[in-house]
Each structure stands twice: as structure tokens, then as C-alpha cells.
């Protein structure tokens, strides 16, 4: 592959705010990080929002509006990719008493509610998590049933927004192909291979290649891993024919002991790609490749 685009996942929803003061959580700071990442070379910014006081993950539409408006009113061009993964959180009560669920870790919303910010903001891209998966060592489950995902895909298609299909395990690829066969995904299809997240697909190269070798030839994909493997995956993704994702959602460090900013991680990704003689694509290139409709 001689060209690739960079996505920067700027904040995420994990418990990272307490681990690094570089993780943005107020809407104005998330917007500023998006702008800085774009200036560093990111063509796409992937956006979660958080409570501006506590830093806890949020689905508040007004927070999305503040971020999106500030980025759109800035002097930089970047493709906006809003998460639609929030609202699929289920935490069981305990190993011995799973019901009722733990209200502190459970946030389950219907398809329409999960897409309200997408409906109002009309980004060029939004994510669609293609399955249910255990996370970590506790009782948390990322919950996305087939019926909910079908309805979300239908609504995203109706809105004219390009879904980025988040694949955390190989079975999720099977489901994505099924969604396509149902006519719920339009060409060109875009997927994100999410590697190394317990307990999904491990980030070894055999598993990455299992994903890549089973992707339809005309689907566009990016791949990333988390933690210290994020930056090596810049090269791995491109060598397997894909695009790149970096950012503080998935990794807090530029090197051992050195906390990163989002712009730092994007700049490092640019350096890696340029050293490999890979052309870093612009937002305009991505819009052309993915047939995106720019909204303002």
C-alpha cells in the first residue's frame, strides 16, 4: 500500500482521565485536541464526549454539539467520526447474583436514542460496533444485539452517514458481511479492526491476517492495537493493506514513561508512514475514497 489515512481517537470512554492529564474531557478541550490532531496530519477524528466536570463518559447531545461546532468553525479541515457505541453498556450485579444489573455500570439505550447525536450533528462517519463482547476482568459486557444493530444500520443508512464497522473479533466480521447481504450497508464499506482488547481478537499478526484475508477485496479497513502496541501497529496496518488509527483513547504514551498528546501520537504516525514511503492522505482524499458527504 502506497497511501494511508490516519484516524485519531481523541478521548474514548475508558478510565483514562485519572491516568493522564493529557486526556481531554471538557468539550472545548476535546475540540482543541481534534484540531491539533488534524494539524499534525490526521484526516479523521473519532470523537467520544465526557462529563466536563467528572470526566466520566457521556451521551449528552449538547456536548457533541459543542465539540462539532468548534471543529467545524475552526480553520482546519478534518473528517468527523462520532461514536455510536455508547448506550450498549451492561454490568451484571455479581458472579453469584447477576440480576439486577449494576446501575453504576449499566447504560442501555435503544437504537434511536443511541443515534440522536448523529441525527442532529450529521457527521460524515459514525461507528457501529458489530457484536457483543466481554471486557476486562469484571462483569461488564459490551452489548449489541443483532436486532439493535440492524435498526442502527438502517437508521444510519437513511441519514446518509457512512458507518465505520468496529470489529473486535472475527465473528463480528461474519456479522458485518451479513449486514451487507441484508442491504443495510452501502458501498464503499469501511471497517475498523480493533485488536488486542480483552477479550476480543488478540493483536498477533496471525489474527490480524485472519481478519484481512477474510475481508472483501473492495472494503476499506483500518487497524489498531492498544497500549504499547499502538505505534507498532501503524506499520502493521499499512503492511497488510490498511489505514491507521492512533490516539489517547487507546494509548497514553509516546514512549516508555513519556505521556503523549493526541498531536504527538499523530505526528509519530506520520513519521512512521513517511519513513515507509507511504503517502499520508488528506481529508479530501478520504472523502473521495469513501464517497463521503461533507456536512457543515
157, exposed or middle or buried, with CB in 10 Å at 0-12, 13-18, 19+? Answer: middle
Q: How far apart are CA 78 and CA 72, in angstroms?
A: 8
| Exposure string for 38-52, b = 16+ CB within 10 A, e = fewer | bebbbbbbbbbbbeb
3-class DSSP assignment, residue 5: coil
- State residue 295's pLDDT score: 64
**Which residues are registered as beta bridge partners of 50?**
57
Over the chain (296 residues), the average pLDDT of each successive run of 10 is: 93 95 98 98 98 97 98 97 97 95 95 98 98 91 97 98 98 98 98 96 96 97 97 98 98 97 98 98 98 76
CA-only gyration radius of the chain, Å:
18
Task: Write down all domains in the chain, each with its CATH number in brackets.
Answer: 3-290 (3.20.20.70)
Q: How far apart are CA 295 and CA 86, in angstroms?
A: 22
Half-sphere exposure (Cβ direction) of 69: Cα atoms closer than 13 Å:
10
Residue (of 237, 283, 286, 288) closest to 37 by Cα position:
283
**Which residues are registered as beta bridge partners of 253?**
259
Instruction: Say how many C-beta atoms besides its own lie within 10 A of residue 11's C-beta.
Output: 27
- State residue 1's pLDDT score: 59
| Residue whose grid cell is 489498531 | 224
Residue (of 283, 263, 267) closest to 275 by Cα position:
267
- State residue 293's pLDDT score: 77
Task: Enter the pTM of the model.
Answer: 0.96
Q: How far apart are CA 217 and CA 85, in angstroms?
A: 26
**CA distances (Å), origin 105, targets 20, 55, 97, 141, 144:** 22, 15, 15, 10, 16
Q: Taking the mean position of all CA atoms in its chain, how far away is CA 27?
A: 18
Residue 71 contacts residue 37 (beta carbons within 8 Å): no
- State residue 72's pLDDT score: 98
Per DSSP bridges, beta strands 162-167 and 190-194 are parallel
- State residue 165's pLDDT score: 98
Per DSSP bridges, beta strands 162-167 and 243-246 are unpaired
Amino acid at each position: 500500500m502506497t497511501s494511508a489515512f490516519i484516524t485519531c481517537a481523541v478521548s474514548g470512554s475508558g478510565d483514562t482521565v485519572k491516568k493522564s492529564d493529557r486526556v481531554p474531557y471538557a468539550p472545548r478541550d476535546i475540540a482543541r485536541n481534534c484540531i491539533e490532531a488534524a494539524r499534525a496530519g490526521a484526516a479523521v477524528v473519532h470523537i467520544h464526549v465526557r462529563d466536563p466536570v467528572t470526566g466520566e463518559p457521556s451521551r449528552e447531545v449538547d456536548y457533541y454539539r459543542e465539540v462539532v461546532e468548534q471543529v467545524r468553525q475552526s480553520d482546519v479541515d478534518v473528517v468527523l467520526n462520532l461514536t455510536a457505541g455508547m448506550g450498549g453498556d451492561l454490568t451484571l450485579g455479581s458472579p453469584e447474583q447477576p440480576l439486577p444489573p449494576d446501575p453504576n455500570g449499566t447504560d442501555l439505550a435503544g437504537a434511536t436514542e443511541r443515534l440522536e447525536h448523529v441525527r442532529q450533528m450529521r457527521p460524515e462517519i459514525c461507528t457501529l460496533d458489530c457484536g457483543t463482547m466481554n471486557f476486562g476482568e469484571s462483569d461488564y459486557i459490551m452489548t449489541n444485539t443483532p436486532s439493535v444493530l440492524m435498526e442502527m444500520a438502517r437508521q444510519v443508512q437513511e441519514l446518509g452517514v457512512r458507518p465505520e464497522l468496529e470489529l473486535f473479533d472475527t465473528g463480528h466480521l461474519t456479522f458485518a458481511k451479513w449486514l451487507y447481504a441484508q442491504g443495510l450497508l452501502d458501498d464503499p464499506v469501511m471497517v475498523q479492526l480493533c485488536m488486542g482488547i480483552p477479550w476480543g481478537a488478540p493483536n498477533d499478526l496471525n489474527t490480524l491476517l485472519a481478519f484481512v484475508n477474510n475481508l472483501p477485496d473492495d472494503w476499506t479497513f483500518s487497524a489498531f492495537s492498544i497500549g504499547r502496541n499502538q505505534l507498532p501497529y501503524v506499520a502493521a496496518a499499512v503492511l497488510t493493506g490498511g489505514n491507521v488509527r492512533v490516539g489517547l483513547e487507546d494509548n497514553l504514551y509516546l514512549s516508555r514513561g513519556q505521556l503523549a498528546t493526541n498531536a504527538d501520537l499523530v505526528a509519530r504516525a506520520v513519521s512512521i508512514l513517511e519513513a515507509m514511503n507511504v503517502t499520508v492522505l488528506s481529508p479530501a482524499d478520504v472523502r473521495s475514497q469513501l464517497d463521503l458527504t461533507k456536512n457543515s
